[in-house]
Amino acid sequence: DSEDEADPHHSLENRVEDPSPHPPPPPESPVRKQSRKATKNINEINKRLRAMSSIMSPEPLRRPSKRCKASSSVQPDLDHKNVDDDVIIMSPDTQKSYSSDSVREIPLKVRCRTDVYKIPVLSSAPLTDVVSQLSVILKVPPTSLLLLRHDIELPSDSSVGELGLSIADIIECVVMRAEAQSSSSSVTVRLQSKDRDSSQEYSIHRDTPLDTIFSQYLSSLPSTTQRKVRFHFDGSKVMSGQTPAQLDMEDGDIIEVWI
* CB 109, CB 118: distance < 8 Å: yes
Rounded to whole angstroms, how far apart are CA atoms 168 and 47? 91
* Residue numbers of the domain that contains 226: 185-258
Boundary (domain end) residue, out of 182, 212, 228: 182
156, 219: one domain: no
CB count in 10 Å sphere of residue 256: 17
Q: What predicted TM-score, i.e. pTM, was given to this entire model?
A: 0.34
Q: Give how far Cα 79 sits from Cα of 64, 73, 76, 90, Å.
A: 19, 11, 5, 21
Same-domain pairing of 171 and 215:
no
Total number of domains constituting the chain: 2
Q: Is 138 strand, coil or helix?
A: helix
Q: What is the pLDDT of residue 57?
A: 58
The three-class DSSP label of residue 51 is: helix
Considering the domain architecture, whether residues 120 and 166 belong to the same structural domain is answered as yes
CATH of the domain at 122: 3.10.20.90
Task: Using the predicted structure, report yes or no on whether residue 29 has a pLDDT greater than 60.
Answer: no
Residues 178 and 195 both lie in one domain? no
Query: Are 199 and 245 found together in one domain?
Result: yes
Do 244 and 210 touch, CB atoms closer than 8 A? yes
User: Helix, strand, or coil here: 60?
Assistant: coil
> What's the pLDDT score for residue 231?
92
Pick from 20-24, 70-74, 113-117, 248-252: least confident: 70-74
Query: What does the pLDDT average to over 88-99?
Result: 46
Q: Which amino acid is at 223?
A: S
Residue 95 has pLDDT above 50, yes or no: no
Please state, for a pLDDT cut of 70, what percent of the chain lies above it. Answer: 64
> What is the dihedral angle through the alpha carbons of 86, 90, 94, 96, rounded to the nearest 10 degrees?
130
Name residue 254's beta-bridge partners. Answer: 190
Same domain assignment for residues 167 and 196: no
* pLDDT reading at 46 higher than 70: yes
User: Does residue 190 sit in the same domain as residue 246?
Assistant: yes
Residue 248 shares a structural domain with residue 178: no
Q: Provide the strand spans (E) within 7-124.
A: 105-112, 115-122
Higher pLDDT, 197 or 259: 259
Residue 89 lies in a domain: no
- pLDDT of 202 reads 86
Question: What does the mean pLDDT of the chain come to?
Answer: 73
From 142, 163, 182, give the residue that closes a domain: 182
Q: How far apart are CA 54 and CA 47, in angstroms?
A: 11
pLDDT by residue (tens digit) across 213-227? 888 888 888 888 888
Segment 109-125 mean pLDDT: 88
The DSSP output letter for 197 is G
For residue 43, pLDDT over 80 is answered with: yes
Is 233 a domain residue? yes
The pLDDT, as a whole number, for residue 238 is 92
Residue 129 has pLDDT above 80, yes or no: yes
Would you say residue 17 lies in a domain? no
CA-CA-CA-CA dihedral for 19, 20, 21, 25, to nearest 10: -140
- Residue 70: per-residue pLDDT: 46
- In a domain? residue 249: yes
Residue 112 sits in the same domain as residue 175: yes
Within-domain flag for 211: yes
- Residues 156-191: tens digit of each pLDDT: 888 888 888 888 889 999 887 755 555 567 888 988
Domain end (from 182, 213, 240)? 182
